[in-house]
Amino acid sequence: MKTFRLLAFGVLAFTLFYGTAWATPSTQIWIPSTDIVPFKTVHFGFDTYIKTESRDDGTTESTVTNLGLTAGALPFKTVQMEVGIDYRDTGGNHVYPLLFNAKVGIPEEGALFKYSPAIAVGGYDFGTEKDVTDYNIYYLIAAKTLGALGRFSAGYYTGNDRLLTKTDGTKDNKGILLSWDRTISEISDKLWLAVDYMGGKNSYGALSAAFAWKFAPNVGVLFGYDVYNESAYKPTATIQVDIDF
């Protein structure tokens, strides 16, 4: 695990030295994906998460909104990289809103060997305030497309054990990453479906499902729903707008 953390930290350090804009990693719905923004492309994302249930005491958790820019950083086909920055706000507080992320990976098209999967390693939600927003989530994930069945992804993550905890305060800072996604070309090449899962009963652990529609080759909108592994965190409806430049 120490080697894994050092590798992911090296990715982030290289990104900071490289000097390109930082941003949220490309995701499925909630978890990171093996997708990487192409070189010389800038991706803008707007995500909002709206609570659909009240707490037991009748109060409602704040809506979370996230604005992000992600840029492709390497000109190679077999080794790719994206970096970016997020501005995240919860309920209009605007407290320590900046979060940084980076990802390096190889595509699925036999980059290592015939039939090799896509592989990505990276980190995200590196905040600016110690033990307040520095969730420091490192991950390793692989994905393979199995024809008409779609693409299956599996991975593992670990993060700051002072922030990734159960509701009783005990550490819960690691877990599995799983997803399935597929373009539903039988209906339209513009329609995409996905389900993903992040393990753990911390504030990140959740099961999510969504569909997305490509309104243009560079513009898509996703509509999804997130159910958290810990029942104290109420479900959210999510809308995500993605634009490539």
Q: What is the pLDDT of residue 190?
A: 97
**Buried/exposed code over 158-169 (b: 16+ C-beta within 10 A; e: otherwise):** bbbeebbbbeee
Q: What is the pLDDT of residue 25?
A: 75
Phi, psi of 19 (to 5 degrees): 90, 10
Q: What is the pLDDT of residue 9?
A: 42
For residue 51, the enclosing domain spans 2-244
CATH for 165? 2.40.160.40
CA 1 vs CA 10, 62, 161, 177: distances in Å: 14, 34, 14, 16
Q: What is the pLDDT of residue 19?
A: 33
Counting the structural domains of the chain, the total is: 1
114-170 pLDDT, tens digit per residue, is: 889 999 999 999 999 999 999 999 999 999 999 999 999 999 999 999 999 999 999
Instruction: Give pTM, 2 decimals.
Output: 0.88
Give just the sign of the alpha carbon dihedral 89, 84, 163, 210.
positive
Q: What is the pLDDT of residue 8?
A: 43
Q: How far apart are CA 77 and CA 47, in angstroms?
A: 29
Residue in the block written with tokens 């900071």: 16
Three-class DSSP category at 206: strand
Q: What is the pLDDT of residue 167?
A: 94
User: With a cut of 70, which residues of the chain have pLDDT below it?
Assistant: 1-24
Q: What is the pLDDT of residue 15?
A: 37
Three-class DSSP category at 77: coil
